[in-house]
Amino acid sequence: MIELISEKISVDKILNNLEDHSTGAVVLFLGRVRDHANGRQVTRMAYEAYAEMAHKKMQEIEDEVKKRWPVQKIAMMHRTGELELGEVSVAIAVACPHRKEAFQACQFAIDTLKETVPIWKKEQFVDGEAWVEGTVPDSGITQ
């Protein structure tokens, strides 16, 4: 389950898609819009994506996760558009037989998504706005 969506992320939908009686652990990560960044007051966020490439990169992440860990099912959803404070912008969930692998796989998935998937965010502040750029993949250099 890989989706870029403009509507609110449904945790119930994600968990229903991960239903599998062979798994004993489901780890769910939710990234939410917070009210501050770099000492400035955030009022909302906007996300844009290069959808075709984002889907491809998210599929690559899923494939790599399933190679490294005994993941039975995985879900990745990311919002696009305008988000209010507290709204979920990204959700990743993995289902594995055991918790250790589930935690490791989920952390790898979110870290890799943030580094490689072409999704950009604009932080909107009380006194202006700024596009936030991430890490250039494989270089460790922040732009």
Give the fold, CATH level 3, of 2-132.
Answer: Aldehyde Oxidoreductase; domain 3 (3.90.1170)
Question: What are the pLDDT digits (tens) for 45-75?
Answer: 999 999 999 999 999 999 999 999 999 999 9
pTM value is 0.85
Q: How far apart are CA 21 and CA 96, in angstroms?
A: 10
Burial label, 104 (beta-carbon count in 10 A; 0-12, 13-18, 19+): middle
Domain layout of the chain by residue ranges: 2-132
18, 73 Cβ separation under 8 angstroms: yes
Task: Kindly state the tokens that stand for 75.
Answer: 């879900």
Give the closest residue to 92 by CA, choosing from 24, 10, 28.
Answer: 28
pLDDT digits (tens, 9 = 90+) for 115-134: 999 999 888 887 776 677 65
